Amino acid sequence: MKKVINMIYPSSKVAGVSLLELKKTEKALGAIFPEEYKELFLETNGAKFGNWTLFPIQTNEQSALTIDIVKQNLENRPKNVPSDMICIGENINGDKLCYRIRKRFMQELIFLWNGKTGISDCKASTLSQFIEWYVPKVNTNKPKTVGTFTIESGKLIVTDPCYQVDEEDLQIILSNVKNGRWTASISYTPEEVVESLLVFYGEKNQVENGMIAING
C-alpha cells in the first residue's frame, strides 16, 4: 500500500487509527475489513484521491466527525444500497464506493453505487488497484510549470526546500545567471518520480535564450 499512500492528496492525510478503533468499527458494522483497508487506515484515517474520498473512522481525537463510515452506513445510508454492501467512500457526485459482505468478511472487490443506476459490476479487484486507476496521472510527456521567479543578483541557488539556504553542502550555486524573470518546470518518470527540473529565462510562451536543466 506504500505506493497507494503516496498517491493520496497530502492535504488529506491525517494520523492513522489504532487496531482497537478498527475492531470497534468492524463490530459496529458487523463485518471485518480486508487487510489492505486496515493497512491503509493504520497509516491515515480517510483519504482523498482523484474525485473520491474515503469515509474516516471515528476516534477519540475525532469524536465530532460530521460523517464517518459507521454513520454513513447506519444513519445516513442511501435507501437503495443492498444490505450486503458497506459504503467506504464517495465521489463529488455522490456515488458510493462499496465492499460486499460475505460470511461477515468484506471482500476486497470494489463496487460502485449510483443513486439512479444502482450497484455496478466489480470495478476493481482491490482498493489499491481502484486508487491507482482513478488517481489523475501526471503527464509525463510534458514538463509541468511550477511557477516563476525573478533573479537580481546574477546567481541561482538550486536546493531541496527541506534544507536551509546556507547549507552549502546540500545545494548548487550557479553564477553569471541572467537577471530577470525565470520560469521553472518539472518533468516526471512514468512512476511519477521527479526526473528533471527545467528553468527557462522568460515567462511561459515567451521563453528567450537561456535554459538550465538539472536531472536527478
Residue 139 confidence (pLDDT): 47
Establish if 94 belongs to a structural domain. yes
Q: Are residues 75 and 99 in the same domain?
A: yes
Rounded Cα distance between 172 and 160, Å, is 10
Rounded Cα distance between 87 and 71, Å, is 10
Structural domain boundaries, residue 65: 2-134
Q: Which of 115, 134, 153 is the last residue of a domain?
A: 134
Residue 206 confidence (pLDDT): 44
Rounded Cα distance between 181 and 200, Å, is 9
pTM assigned to the model: 0.61
Split into its structural domains, the chain has a count of 2
How does pLDDT run along the chain (216 residues), one tens digit per residue?
Answer: 666 777 777 777 788 999 999 999 999 999 999 999 999 999 889 888 888 999 999 987 766 677 899 999 999 998 889 999 999 999 988 999 999 999 999 999 999 998 888 887 778 899 988 888 776 654 445 667 777 888 888 888 777 655 555 655 667 778 888 888 888 887 766 555 667 777 777 655 444 445 454 544
Give the position of cell 505506493: 3
Establish if 139 belongs to a structural domain. no
Residue 138 confidence (pLDDT): 47
Rounded Cα distance between 191 and 173, Å, is 29
Q: Which three cell numbers stand for residue 186?
A: 518539472
